[in-house]
Structure 1
Amino acid sequence: MLTVPVRLLGDADVAAVERLLDCEPYAGAQIAERVAAGGLAWWRHEARLFGYGNGKRIDALCWLGANLIPVRAGPAAVAAFADLIAGEVRGCSSIVGPAEAVVDLWDRLRPHWGPARDVRDCQPLLALDRPAAVRPDPDVRLVHAGEVDILYPAAVAMYTEEVGVPPAGAGDTSYRERVADLVRARRAYARVLGGRVIFKAEVAVATRHTAQIQGVWVAPDWRGRGLATAGMAAVVADVLERVAPTVSLYVNDFNEPARRAYARCGFRQVGTFATVLF
């Protein structure tokens, strides 16, 4: 009888998981933040983390919760994770991570979970470990606690434009609470003009290695004026001083204006992500 090299991980595996994630400071950031905050007991996260490897050795990881995230998963690990997960009803809203693993995983899960709403198979993963190469926008700052109502419409607009549908909970309080959490945690940045957000960005993930930026958005009538470049430079400056030693993000390959802005700031490509959206 063959031993299946995939197992559900628990708190006893934290040290081994952290060692593996240290080898993937950018690709593993989303998992690393959650493990640091709550260990590996599934009930703390409403998610499970599976490890691939022989015996106690862990060579690859797969996070299964609101998102499905493979890390350091080669073809054999992807096949093993897919075999384990395929029989479950899909509960995640996306598969996201290193492109080769995500595409392979989706090819295997599609007959069971398909179809996807969108597959973005080439998203450059970028990082920067020094101040941006351009002058920061002095008007970009942390959003104040009393400005959630100002930030919220911009957050909904960004999400809808980026993902193609409004955020789950946009009609009630859950998405607004997510925005408020970012503000309380001092992770939300904006340039506010006349009571309106014209640039925004958030630190979505923070680990001892990196702060991952998401939600970068410029109001449509302000685009083409360099706000994204200078705004990101301001975000980078504060993050490097206050949050983490590097700044990272991933961007759709077809989003040429955003890619140009990040390049002007000095971001370099450190990998390629892919995202499957449901």
Structure 2
Amino acid sequence: MLSRVAPWLASRNETAPDGLTVRILEGADTAQLRALALEDPVANVFILSQLGSHGSASPTAAGARIFGVFDGGALLGACWAGANLVPVQLDPGLAPYIAQAVHRAGRRYASIFGPAEPVLALHAALEPHGHLAHEVRAEQPLMTISGEPDIPANPHLGFGDMADFELILPACAAMFEEEVGYSPFLGGEDFYSRRVAGLIRQGHSLVHIDGGRVLFKAELGAVTPDVSQVQGVWLNPAIRGQGLSAGYMAAVVKLAQTFAPITSLYVNHYNLRARASYERVGFQQLGTFATVLY
């Protein structure tokens, strides 16, 4: 069937010449979406965490939607479309279907992230519609660990507290700017500030504060009963080069394991220092992600 998928310009509830359809998922599609995502619970931790939070595949109050490609009543693949695009078990051959649907939705997206093949296929399919990338990170090892870290954990890392919000927020912003090249406060501070505060309140902010400054921080950006995904790893520049990052990451694993047995993350392939640190802790590569920044 996939060999017959042409670059058909899909829209909501239209039927392609080969019988496939694309539409926005509704509450009744929740079980199918969850079953699809559970085919790879590590790669799909983002969408599974969203389903855990919202309880439904229907559009969220904030306006995020999930587009699905169907063959009759069977869900073949899907894509979260909120501030970012996140493919879910999407065969690269189905990317043109999703690309046309999300383009017709009339939104701009900050990024696409997830397994490399569908991410890069979506990027290629969106480009002719004027969605031009600022940067393409085509190879990001997806790494996981379960069980005890291979090295001792730094005992000073703990869960963030709202009392320290004014210290944690600038550290998060510094990490973001280092990572993507621009401030998360462009267009206003409200959205990013609410995001950071939400992570703290959920117990998903991990931080070491000493002497009124953040020395290290990370977040659990997505959490399910099976997997947590670490994001936003940042070491204060004042203490870099001292071999501290691996001990902090071992502590991240220990704290993340209070939520789920598997801890995952993805990292740019060219960041050899970070990759070596993660491997020292015991992380092993499971797959490859990609991120397209707009």
Given the two structures, how large is their TM-score scaled by the length of structure 1? 0.94
Matched residues, number: 277
* Cα separation, 2, equivalents of 1:114 and 1:55: 30
Retained in 1: the 8 A contact 2:20–2:72?
no
Q: CA deviation at 1:98?
A: 0.8
Retained in 2: the 8 A contact 1:136–1:233?
yes
For the residue of structure 2 that corresponds to 1:5, the secondary structure is strand
**Matched residue, 1:25:** 41
Q: CA deviation at 1:185?
A: 1.1
Question: Alpha-carbon deviations, 1:89-120, whole Å to 9, x = none?
Answer: 34211111111111111111112133211111
For the residue of structure 1 that corresponds to 2:71, the secondary structure is coil
Question: Alpha-carbon deviations, 1:217-243, whole Å to 9, x = none?
Answer: 001121122221101101111211x21
Change in CA separation of 1:27 and 1:45 when aligned onto 2, cut-off 3 Å: farther
**Matched residue, 2:280:** 264
Residue 172 in structure 1 maps to residue 189 in structure 2: yes
* Cα separation, 2, equivalents of 1:41 and 1:126: 30
Question: Alpha-carbon deviations, 1:54-106, whole Å to 9, x = none?
Answer: 12211211111111111211133212212323444342111111111111111
Q: CA deviation at 1:40?
A: 1.6
Retained in 2: the 8 A contact 1:120–1:274?
yes
Q: Which amino acid aligns with 2:125?
A: R
Retained in 2: the 8 A contact 1:205–1:211?
yes
For the residue of structure 1 that corresponds to 2:36, the secondary structure is helix
Residue 222 in structure 1 maps to residue 232 in structure 2: no
Retained in 2: the 8 A contact 1:156–1:170?
no
Q: CA deviation at 1:187?
A: 0.9
Q: CA deviation at 1:169?
A: 5.4
For the residue of structure 2 that corresponds to 1:274, the secondary structure is strand
Retained in 1: the 8 A contact 2:150–2:282?
yes
**Matched residue, 1:213:** 230
Which shows bigger deviation, 166-175 or 118-127? 166-175
Which shows bigger deviation, 111-120 or 2-11? 2-11
- Root-mean-square deviation (CA, aligned residues, Å) is 1.6
* Cα separation, 2, equivalents of 1:170 and 1:64: 21
Question: Alpha-carbon deviations, 1:204-228, whole Å to 9, x = none?
Answer: 1101221111010001121122221
**Matched residue, 2:97:** 80
**Matched residue, 1:163:** 180
Retained in 1: the 8 A contact 2:64–2:83?
yes
Gap regions ≥5 residues in structure 1: none
Gap regions ≥5 residues in structure 2: 1-15
* Cα separation, 1, equivalents of 2:51 and 2:21: 21
Q: Which amino acid aligns with 1:273?
A: F
Retained in 1: the 8 A contact 2:86–2:113?
yes
**Matched residue, 1:5:** 21
1:150 aligns with one of 155, 159, 167: 167
Change in CA separation of 1:89 and 1:173 when aligned onto 2, cut-off 3 Å: closer
Q: Which amino acid aligns with 1:149?
A: E
Identity %: 38
* Cα separation, 1, equivalents of 2:73 and 2:161: 46
**Matched residue, 1:109:** 126
For the residue of structure 1 that corresponds to 2:165, the secondary structure is helix
